[in-house]
């Protein structure tokens, strides 16, 4: 058992928080850390890359992986795992990742990626499942279900239309309504409705003229699907301090961001932002802490060697099936995990 379960009374904490403490909850406390509210018993939690193997940095943190990381299992990338068309196997990978996160003290795994492969030049294609929205959505949902079954959170990303590498921090993806809903948003809809991720990560790019991290329309669409978790921006993707929170963004990463906290506090004091609206955002961030604390007492089921077995099964099945197996849609819905029973996985 990793630790004792702790219950966080979110409403009582919000009632007792100062305005400064509420604003501090809106950004990370460090590169991978959310600070919580220690004065009121809400401790910090850690998040970590990545979708295909934890990149928990115990010392200096960076976004390129230059600093040392804790040893972790290397799982098949989403592009490789998708070659199996095996929902059960992808869920098993999620369960293994969830157990590894628990062992390393990580609360939220920053994945999966559910964007479609639209250009061979997209630098994130390796962590996206498919060019097909049905396949991408159901495999992303299986991953989320696996991780979160172990009491760890996920961050469904990159919401939305993060499909190219050229100028990906500032590019404006102009997409008509039918293509947007039938293709680009569909994997996210499937994953949200099926698996209920703890967080959704907003992409760097603009979508139809508005940065994703300040698009009320985009984040409102997620709420319409039933998403009730926290919206977090990709690392450094928050663009306009005045526009982000009112549009629906809950958490700015990385932190600390004293400028963002100060701007939100000033907006509340000036009456430009109702404190009730701030409380809604703080509530979603604290609920993230509460979910983690409520699951703290869960046991780790898969030890390191078992997690390696799952990873090996993914690599073996993906290689064997890429050229040898023809997929049919019904099998994706009904298929159970093959990795313990299929000869090619031995």
234 annotated active-site:
yes
Residue tagged active-site, from 49, 86, 132, 234: 234
Rounded Cα–Cα distance for residues 157 and 160 (Å): 8
Helix (H, G, I), strand (E, B) or coil at 245: helix
Name 231's bridge partners: 200
State the greatest distance between any 2 C-alpha atoms of the chain, in Å, as a whole number: 67
Beta strands in 108-224 (DSSP E): 108-109, 153-159, 172-173, 199-202, 206-207, 210-211
| Nearest in space to 67 (alpha carbons), one of 79, 76, 58, 80 | 58
Q: Residue 153 belongs to what H/E stretch?
A: strand 153-159
Integer-rounded Cα Rg, in Å, for the chain is 20
Report CA-CA distances (Å) from 53 to 81, 176, 215, 216, 308: 13, 35, 30, 32, 11
Cβ atoms of 243 and 272 closer than 8 Å: no
Rounded Cα–Cα distance for residues 256 and 200 (Å): 20
| Nearest in space to 253 (alpha carbons), one of 21, 26, 28 | 28
Q: Which residues are catalytic?
A: 234
């Amino acid at each position: 058992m990793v630790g004792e379960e702790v219950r966080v009374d979110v409403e009582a904490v919000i009632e007792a928080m100062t305005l400064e403490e509420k604003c501090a909850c809106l950004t990370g406390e460090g590169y991978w850390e959310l600070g919580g509210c220690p004065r009121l018993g809400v401790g910090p939690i850690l998040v970590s890359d990545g979708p295909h193997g934890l990149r928990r940095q115990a010392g200096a943190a960076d976004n390129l992986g230059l600093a040392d990381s804790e040893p972790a299992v290397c799982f098949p990338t989403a592009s490789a795992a998708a070659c199996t068309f095996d929902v059960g196997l992808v869920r098993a990978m999620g369960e293994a990742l969830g157990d590894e996160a628990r062992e390393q003290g990580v609360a939220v795994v920053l994945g999966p990626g559910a964007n479609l492969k639209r250009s061979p030049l997209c630098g994130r294609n390796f962590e996206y499942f498919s060019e097909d929205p049905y396949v991408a959505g159901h495999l992303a949902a299986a991953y989320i279900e696996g991780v979160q079954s172990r009491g760890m959170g996920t961050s469904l990303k990159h919401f939305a239309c993060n499909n190219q590498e050229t100028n990906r921090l500032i590019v404006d993806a102009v997409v008509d309504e039918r293509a947007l809903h039938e293709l680009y948003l569909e994997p996210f809809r499937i994953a949200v409705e099926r698996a209920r991720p703890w967080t959704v990560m907003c992409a760097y790019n603009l979508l139809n003229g508005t940065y994703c991290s300040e698009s009320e329309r985009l984040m409102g669409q997620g709420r319409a699907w039933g998403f009730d978790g926290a919206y977090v921006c990709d690392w450094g993707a928050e663009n306009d301090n005045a526009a982000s929170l009112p549009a629906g963004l809950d958490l700015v990463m990385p932190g600390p961001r004293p400028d963002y906290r100060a701007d939100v506090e000033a907006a509340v004091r000036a009456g430009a932002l109702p404190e009730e609206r701030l409380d809604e955002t703080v509530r979603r961030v604290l609920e993230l802490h509460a979910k983690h604390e409520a699951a703290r007492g869960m046991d780790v089921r898969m030890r390191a060697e078992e997690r390696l077995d799952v990873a090996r099964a993914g690599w073996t099945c993906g290689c064997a099936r890429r050229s040898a197996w023809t997929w049919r849609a019904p099998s994706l819905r009904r298929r159970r995990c093959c990795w313990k029973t299929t000869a090619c996985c031995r």
